[in-house]
Amino acid sequence: MTSQTRPPPKTSEAERQEEARKKRLSERLRANLQKRKAQSRARRAGEADERPDGLLQANDDNGDS
């Protein structure tokens, strides 16, 4: 008598979506952490913050005519 191991039962669609969501969130958190570390290093070195998604500058002509 040989015992065969069966693969674990497939997860439901909701569980797969939850796992995918957790994976996306962890990747975004990791990227955010790396960005913050780079900002901190740049500030320590006295360099300007070079992030492309920084605050937008106010335009000089903002339509107040």
For 51, list phi and psi in degrees, rounded to 5: -75, 135
pLDDT in tens, the chain (65 residues): 556 777 666 679 999 999 999 999 999 999 999 999 999 888 887 766 566 665 555 555 555 54
What tokens does 44 get?
């320590």
Q: Is the Cα dihedral 48, 53, 54, 60 positive or negative? A: positive
Residue with tokens 């569980």: 15
Are the C-beta atoms of 32 and 16 separated by less than 8 Å?
A: no
Q: What is the pLDDT of residue 65?
A: 45
Q: What is the pLDDT of residue 45?
A: 79
Q: What is the pLDDT of residue 61?
A: 54
List, as one string, the DSSP characters of 13-35: HHHHHHHHHHHHHHHHHHHHHHH
